[in-house]
């Protein structure tokens, strides 16, 4: 399969990055187990969409209820070493910027909220040499059962295909801006759109639950909290409750 890529060589304070600008190759399926699994077989620059997913998954091995009419999209991105986890922020911002007509917020690490309810989730997975970013958007239906959070639908008349196209366009813009402006810029953009900054939040981790003020993000994208006793804590994985 051939995909058109052009490579830009750019210099910025964090070094030289050779990053592909994608002319996305979109491949559509009727039914797959998970678009993230299907995408693994394709090269960088591929976007996989499916009308149905039978084994959609979310973060921490949870099931992603893949209801009819919603968007199930996975994009294949290049491995970026230690910066790979930051791609979740790039993708989150791309989803928000793709939908200027909807008042959306980002919830650390990978959720998209509308009026405090989850409308989209992002799952970043690595292979040996690629990164698969899976994006699930509740376009027509919001799952209601066995959930940690409130959910909602996006509430636009967009079809999954139209939304996928918007997100891919916006993702190219965000990837370019990220490579031009670097990590500090990315995190500042993300924080501007984030829910809960400066507020008391609860973070559930596998072995403990903590409460603290959400101050900012570390350069690696960890949540930086101030706890009740005044100490600072960095959290790199968990679920936050606002
Ligand atoms: C989360 O919020 O836990 C992340 C959910 C990610 C769901 C999407 S739907 C498309 C892609 N395929 C999957 O199996 N998961 C992601």
Predicted local confidence at residue 148, as pLDDT:
77
Predicted local confidence at residue 146, as pLDDT:
62
178 pocket-lining for ligand 1 (C-beta < 6 Å): no
109 pocket-lining for ligand 1 (C-beta < 6 Å): no
CA separation, residue 45 to residues 56, 130, 163, 223 (Å) = 21, 10, 17, 30
Phi first, then psi, for residue 57 (nearest 5°) are: -130, 155
Non-local CB neighbours of 181 within 8 Å, separated by 6+ positions: 12
- Global confidence as pTM: 0.91
How far is 52 from 33, CA to CA, in rounded Å? Answer: 8
Q: How far is the CA of 211 from the centre of ligand 1 (A)?
A: 27
DSSP state of 49: E
Looking from the CA of residue 56, the nearest atom of ligand 1 is 14
Predicted local confidence at residue 149, as pLDDT:
85
- Give me the helix-helix angle, 87-98 and 160-192, nearest 10°: 120
Tens of pLDDT along 78-92?
999 999 999 999 999
Predicted local confidence at residue 20, as pLDDT:
57
Predicted local confidence at residue 144, as pLDDT:
85
59 pocket-lining for ligand 1 (C-beta < 6 Å): yes
């Amino acid at each position: 399969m051939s995909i058109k890529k052009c490579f830009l060589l750019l210099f910025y304070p964090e070094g030289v990055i050779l990053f592909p600008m994608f002319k996305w190759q979109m491949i559509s399926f009727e039914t797959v187990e998970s678009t993230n699994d299907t995408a693994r077989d394709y090269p960088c620059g591929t976007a996989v969409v499916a009308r149905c997913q039978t084994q959609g998954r979310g973060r921490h091995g949870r099931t992603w209820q893949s209801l009819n009419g919603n968007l199930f999209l996975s994009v294949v991105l290049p491995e970026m070493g230690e910066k790979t986890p930051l791609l979740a922020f790039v993708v989150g911002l791309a989803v928000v910027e793709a939908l200027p007509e909807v008042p959306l917020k980002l919830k650390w690490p990978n959720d998209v909220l509308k009026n405090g309810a989850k409308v989209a989730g992002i799952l970043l997975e690595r292979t040996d040499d690629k990164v698969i970013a899976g994006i699930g958007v509740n376009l027509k239906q919001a799952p209601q059962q066995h959930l940690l959070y409130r959910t909602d639908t996006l509430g636009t008349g967009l079809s999954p295909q139209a939304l996928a196209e918007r997100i891919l366009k916006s993702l190219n813009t965000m990837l370019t801006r990220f490579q031009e402006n670097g990590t500090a810029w990315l995190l500042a953009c993300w924080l501007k759109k984030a829910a809960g900054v400066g507020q008391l939040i609860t973070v559930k981790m596998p072995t403990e639950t903590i409460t603290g003020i959400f101050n900012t993000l570390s350069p690696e994208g960890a949540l930086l909290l101030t706890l009740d006793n005044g100490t600072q804590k960095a959290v790199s994985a968990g679920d936050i409750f606002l």
